[in-house]
Amino acid sequence: MTKLLTSIILFASLVTNAQSIYKKSSELKKRNEIKQTDRYLLDKSKSINPMFFGSYVYDRNGRIIDSKEFFPNGKFSSHSKFEYPNDTIRIKILLDSTGVELKKIEQKVDLSEKKIERENIDNKNFEYVYDSNGNIAKIYKIKGNKKSLLMEKKYNDNNYLIQESFFEFKLDGAKIPQVIIYTRDESDNILRITRMSENEIEYIEFYTHKKYST
């Protein structure tokens, strides 16, 4: 499970600077008046019952202000609070399991709409291809004169992500096809994320949302 989650985080980091994900996510939550989202994990190899995995609280502008996450066994993983001194800076405050402050991190918030065609991350070069609506459609890894496809993305009619396809590489060089499916409600809130490997479900994340108006 740890390896699977790590691979998702890796691919998420590739597009953070190339697309204003933060802005798009905040605008969606603001429009839908989302106050809190709870996250549950169903690891079909270990359990048939979804496990509480995290809770996220947002202000009325759709910005995250509190995040609590837990390991699949229910133990504490992390707790963070967020402050916004202005529109381009976010302060992330790390807390321990008792709420004692451990560290503050200043983060730059991307509110731009600019597209990045190429990017270097950890001395690795990546190329981004966009669809006609400005969404990232493909991500390539560039090595010398060779270009290899890392990920393909699909979006719904409202330009929200609904599927990611990529390969997981084994030590022997074998490529294992992976698919992540994002199921959304009529307002585009995420209800479920399904991770599949070779057409078999590896795990499912479920999301519930509470609104300011309820």
Q: Is pLDDT at 116 greater than 70 in this prediction?
A: no
User: Does some domain include residue 166?
Assistant: yes
pLDDT of residue 113: 59
> Which letter does DSSP use for residue 54 in this model?
E
Q: Which two tokens stand for residue 106?
A: 């200043």
Task: Read off the pTM.
Answer: 0.81
User: Does some domain include residue 206?
Assistant: yes
User: Does some domain include residue 173?
Assistant: yes
User: Does some domain include residue 58?
Assistant: no
pLDDT of residue 100: 96
pLDDT of residue 199: 87
Summary mean pLDDT of the chain: 84
115 or 131: which leads in pLDDT: 131
Domain total of the chain: 1
**Which residues make Cβ contacts (< 8 Å) with residue 56, sequence separation at least 6?**
36, 37, 38, 39, 64, 66, 67, 68
In 3D space, the residue among 178, 182, 142, 140 whose CA is nearest the CA of residue 160 turns out to be: 182
User: Does some domain include residue 178?
Assistant: yes
User: Does some domain include residue 78?
Assistant: no
- Residue 25 phi, psi (nearest 5): -65, -45
Interval 119-166: pLDDT, tens: 665 567 889 999 999 899 999 988 888 888 999 999 999 999 999 999
Gap between the Cα atoms of 130 and 111, Å rounded:
18
Q: Which helix (H) or strand (E) holds 119?
A: strand 118-121
User: Does some domain include residue 91?
Assistant: no
Please count the CA atoms within 13 angstroms of the CA of 200 that sit on its side-chain side: 6
Q: Yes or no: say if 92 and 79 are a contact pair by the CB < 8 Å rule.
A: no
Q: How far is CA 60 from the centre of its chain?
A: 21
User: Does some domain include residue 192?
Assistant: yes
Domain that holds residue 156: 2-53+112-211
- Give the pLDDT band of residue 21 (cuts 50, 70, 90): low
Q: Yes or no: say if 89 and 107 are a contact pair by the CB < 8 Å rule.
A: yes
Interval 35-86: pLDDT, tens: 999 999 987 766 667 888 999 999 999 999 999 999 878 899 999 999 999 8
